[in-house]
């Protein structure tokens, strides 16, 4: 592990654009970077999802083979939890000294060429002080492929998103466009397990297949069922909002009755409108060529977070976009419109697109919606354009999903709410920072760029002893070599000048 202590205003502290304010600004001090998976530690360990524990001032980082526990002050690894006997760990959430791990089932035998994700997974509970399994019930069976989990704000319940991705998808039916796919031969239902933390038992397992549906562009013919991706719980603990990413929808769970009340289609973003430009060329142009184009983007959010403004709940979504894992539901637009045209390379959703109506995956933005699903704010083309301006735009991704906004974390600093959005597909790891206090008046603050880190996935923003921090999990080793990294920044707020 190499410790870094670099103080910076991080490349763009005072950058502005029309409609975006920059005061009062935040500055960022890079405290340390930890290299996971070294021969001296645990080979194969990745940095995917971080969570902070207030009681021990440690950061728990999950990454397939286990959990690295890092001293938040120094970045040194103080422990490792091996979960390979149970399977692969996908997520962690911590509340009052109790760490919950979402563990995907292991393959049934070493000779199997499939994963165990079609079988029930587990939630393991650990004491953050001892880093041992918690006393009492500490191993709880949940649905297939638990991919994300979160405590309610009071810690009384634990919600687990069981993604249940099939190993083999449904086949195409007929030759019409848009394409239609039949059900997968072995597709466990995507569900959310609701665990009562007093008894540490699953009190409900809710699915989305039969819930009432509303709004537009729900993808229900992809050869797989709805796959819960990420969960946000309202402050009062009465509702949970679940992203159904590949389905371009969110599910709403009433936590007073433990029922799914509706599945809401998220619609599509029109790339032909000013402010929503894309670069579909994938031609190596520097700078990239952004423009309006006759195509749309399905929002397909990955992470989601909830906060309140004037007593109302708002949802922040990172509109990454995603296709089936086998990419069977995507193809270049050339298959519909022919080769040699501007949009020929654009990767489109086969289940939604026609030659005259192209749909891509992802909106290349983050959005704020109210609980009726109305879009209150969308960042438009800003994230792609800003990455290009900073020299970190990956043109090789331009035909796919741009910078791919993936992770979301919210933090109150000085009475204002800031959103931290990880950009998974930039040349150097980047996290965009916006002041979202008033969802009707959002302002860009900064982009944190960390050379040497690649592909930020999970992000945790937290307070400790009066200081504000953001821990960034970077999943992919840098192309120059090395290992998957976790990086910590301290955040300071610059007060506006006195009049």
Task: Give the pLDDT confidence score for residue 252 in this predicted structure.
Answer: 98
Helix and strand counts by DSSP (H, E) for the chain: 2, 37
Give the pLDDT score at 496.
Answer: 65
pLDDT reported for residue 476 = 92
Q: Quote the CA–CA distance of 411 and 191 in Å, as a whole number.
A: 28
Digit-coded pLDDT (tens) for 263-283: 999 999 999 999 999 999 888
- In this predicted structure, what is the pLDDT of residue 9? 31
Q: Which two tokens stand for residue 1?
A: 């592990």
Q: Which residue has the tokens 């022919």?
A: 338
Q: Which of 190, 56, 174 is nearest to 121 (CA)?
A: 190
Phi then psi dihedrals of residue 90, to 5 deg = -115, -20
pLDDT at 24: 58
Confidence of residue 452 (pLDDT cuts 50, 70, 90): very high
SS3 (DSSP) at 387: helix
Lowest mean pLDDT among 149-153, 158-162, 396-400: 396-400
- pLDDT band at 39; cut points 50, 70, 90: confident
pLDDT per position as a tens digit, 197-252 = 999 999 999 999 999 999 999 999 999 999 999 999 999 999 999 999 999 999 99
Enumerate the β-bridge partners of residue 367. 317, 378
pLDDT score for 482: 77
Q: What CA–CA distance (Å, rounded) separates 204 from 455?
A: 35
How do 213-214 and 259-265 pair as beta strands?
parallel
pLDDT tens figures, 407-424: 999 999 999 999 999 999
pLDDT tens per residue across span 282-316: 888 889 999 999 999 999 999 999 999 999 999 99
Q: What is the DSSP letter of 273?
A: S
Segments of 352-428 assigned E as strands: 359-361, 365-370, 375-378, 405-413, 416-423
In degrees, rounded to 5, the angle at the alpha carbon of residue 145 between the alpha carbons of residues 139 and 150 is 65
CB atoms within 10 A of CB 413: 17
In this prediction, residue 282 carries a pLDDT of 83
Q: What is the pLDDT confidence band of residue 115, given thresholds at 50, 70 and 90?
A: low
Domain 6-493 CATH superfamily: YVTN repeat-like/Quinoprotein amine dehydrogenase (2.130.10.10)
pLDDT at 40 over 60: yes
Q: How high is the mean pLDDT of the chain? A: 92
Looking at residue 392, its pLDDT comes to 96
Residue 83, SS3 per DSSP: coil
Phi, psi for 46 (deg, rounded to 5):
-115, 170
- The CA distance from 10 to 5, in Å, is 13
Angle CA(306)–CA(52)–CA(419) in degrees, nearest 5?
A: 35
Give me the residue spans of the domains in the chain: 6-493
Query: To which residue do tokens 């008033």 refer?
Result: 438
Task: Work out the average pLDDT over 333-352.
Answer: 95
The pTM score is 0.93
């Amino acid at each position: 592990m190499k410790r870094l202590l670099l103080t910076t205003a991080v490349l763009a502290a005072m950058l502005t654009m029309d409609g975006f304010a920059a005061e009062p600004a935040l500055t960022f001090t890079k405290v340390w970077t930890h290299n996971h998976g070294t021969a001296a530690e645990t080979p194969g360990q990745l940095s995917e999802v971080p969570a902070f524990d207030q009681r021990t001032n440690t950061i728990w980082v999950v990454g397939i083979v286990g959990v690295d526990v890092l001293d938040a002050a120094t970045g040194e690894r103080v422990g490792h939890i091996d979960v390979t006997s149970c399977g692969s760990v996908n997520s962690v959430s911590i509340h009052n000294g109790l760490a919950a791990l979402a563990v995907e089932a292991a393959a049934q035998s070493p000779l199997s060429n499939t994963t165990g994700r079609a079988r029930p997974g587990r939630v393991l509970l650990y004491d953050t002080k001892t880093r041992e399994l918690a006393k009492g019930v500490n191993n709880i069976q949940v649905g297939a492929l638990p991919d994300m989990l979160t405590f309610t704000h009071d810690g009384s319940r634990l919600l687990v998103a069981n993604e249940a991705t099939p190993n083999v998808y449904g086949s195409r039916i007929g030759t019409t466009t848009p394409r239609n796919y039949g059900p997968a031969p072995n597709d466990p239902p995507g569900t959310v397990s609701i665990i009562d933390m007093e008894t540490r038992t699953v009190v409900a397992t809710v699915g989305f297949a039969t819930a009432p549906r509303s709004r537009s562009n729900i993808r229900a013919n992809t050869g797989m069922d709805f796959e819960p991706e990420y969960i946000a719980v309202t402050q009062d603990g009465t509702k949970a909002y679940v992203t159904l990413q590949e389905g371009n929808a969110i599910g709403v769970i009433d936590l007073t009755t433990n029922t799914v009340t509706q599945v809401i289609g998220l619609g599509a973003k029109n790339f032909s409108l000013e402010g929503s430009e894309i670069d579909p060329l994938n031609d190596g142009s520097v700078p990239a060529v952004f423009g309006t184009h006759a195509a749309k983007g399905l929002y397909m959010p990955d992470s989601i977070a909830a906060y309140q403004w004037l007593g109302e709940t708002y949802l922040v979504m990172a509109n990454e976009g995603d296709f089936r894992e086998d990419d069977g539901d995507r193809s270049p637009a050339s298959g519909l419109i022919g080769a040699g045209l501007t949009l020929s390379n654009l990767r489109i959703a086969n289940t939604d697109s026609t030659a005259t109506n192209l749909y891509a995956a992802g909106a290349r933005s983050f959005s704020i919606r109210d609980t009726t699903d109305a879009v209150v704010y969308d960042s438009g083309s800003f994230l792609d354009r800003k990455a290009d301006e900073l020299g970190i735009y990956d043109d090789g991704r331009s035909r796919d999903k741009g910078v791919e906004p993936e992770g979301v974390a919210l933090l109150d600093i000085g009475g204002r709410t800031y959103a931290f959005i990880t950009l998974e597909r930039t040349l150097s790891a980047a996290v965009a920072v916006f002041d979202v206090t008033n969802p009707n008046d959002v302002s860009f603050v900064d982009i944190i760029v960390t050379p040497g880190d690649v592909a930020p996935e999970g992000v945790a923003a937290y307070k400790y002893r009066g200081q504000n921090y953001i821990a960034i999990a970077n999943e992919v080793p840098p192309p120059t070599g090395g290992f998957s990294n976790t990086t910590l920044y301290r955040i300071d707020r610059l007060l506006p000048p006195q009049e």
